Structure 1
Amino acid sequence: MTRQKTYLVISALGEDHPGIVNQLSKVVLDQGCNIEDSRMTVLGGEFAAMLLVEGKWNTLAKIENALPELERQLGMTIICKRTGERATGRNLLPYAIDVVSMDHPGIVNNLAGFFAERDINIEDLSTSTYAAAHTGTPMFAVHMTVGIPADLHIAALREDFMDYCDALNLDAVLEPLKG
């Protein structure tokens, strides 16, 4: 009989400075737990981290108890929430989507609306801005992973998505997630 894994999701936000990842990961390691998944980045002058920590219920409790002191030491806002393993009831196909366009408000909302209307879950999303080579035009890039129901006709979805993006002047690619 396999043991149901127990998890703690930790979210931390605060002014960026060296050593944050070291101190966050040390608290996890010191309690005998493991970081199974994470996202960490600097946004403006702030460091943002989300960690999925796996451990026994009592070791996760030790991390929960250590977080207020870590929050004080790092000068960050840290919140946590217990969670279980992800439900795998639906037969979903992982697809990657990349979109690039001139930067303007509403791109993320438009893309999210397209997939929400079709009951397609956005599982991961990251965006960035940059200056186009030669012209310096402000550009916007979106990379996302979605779970497409296996019974959905992919060719029709891809055609609808490309038409939608063309109407919004967005360059887009929708392809199976590799690896």
Structure 2
Amino acid sequence: MATQKTYLVISALGEDHPGIVNLLSKAILEQGCNIEDSRMTVLGGEFAAMLLVEGKWNTLAKIENAIPELQRQLNMTIITKRTGERATGRNLLPYAVDVVSMDHPGIVNNLAGFFADRAINIEDMATSTYAAAHTGTPMFAVHMTVGIPSDMHIAGLREEFMDYCDGLNLDAVLEPLKG
């Protein structure tokens, strides 16, 4: 019988400076744990990290106990939460969504509302702003991965999504996620 893996989600936020990833990953490794998944980025002047750490219950406890010292060393706010393996009950198809438009408030909320209204889960999302080439117009880009129920009519959903985005003046693509 396979044993269920135990995980710790670590969220860290603090002023960006060199060496954060090194010290954070070293602390995890020294306790005998492994980073299975992570997202790390600089937002403004802050460094933000979300890590999924796998280990035995006692090694995860060692990390939890080391957090106050790690917060002090890194000058960061660190939050942890125990979790288990992700449930795979629903048969979902992974699709990529890419949207680009002139920047304006409400883009993320509109997209999130479209998918929420159809019970489609947003699995991953990254957004960015940039200046358009030649004109310097403020632009906004969204890339997300969504889990579409396998019994949903994809062509109909795609048409509905494209019409929705056209109505909001968003250039969009909805396509199967390429492995």
TM-score by length of 2: 1.00
**3-state SS of 2:123 partner:** strand
Consecutive unaligned residues of structure 2, counting only runs of 5 or more, are none
Count matched residues.
Answer: 179
Q: 2:14 matched to which residue of 1?
A: 14
Q: 2:156 matched to which residue of 1?
A: 156
In the TM superposition, 1:1-179 aligns within 5 A as 1-179=1-179
Distance 1:72 1:174 in 2: 44
**3-state SS of 2:2 partner:** coil
Consecutive unaligned residues of structure 1, counting only runs of 5 or more, are none
C-alpha RMSD of matched pairs (Å) = 0.3
1:172 Cα deviation from its structure 2 partner: 0.2
User: Which residue type is aligned with residue 118 of structure 2?
Assistant: R
User: Which residue type is aligned with residue 3 of structure 1?
Assistant: T
**3-state SS of 1:146 partner:** strand
Distance 2:158 2:27 in 1: 44
User: Which residue type is aligned with residue 128 of structure 1?
Assistant: S
Deviations 1:88-124 (A, max 9, x none): 0000000000000000000000000000000000000
Return structure 1 stretches of 4+ with deviation > 4 angstroms.
Answer: none
1:167 Cα deviation from its structure 2 partner: 0.2
**3-state SS of 1:111 partner:** helix
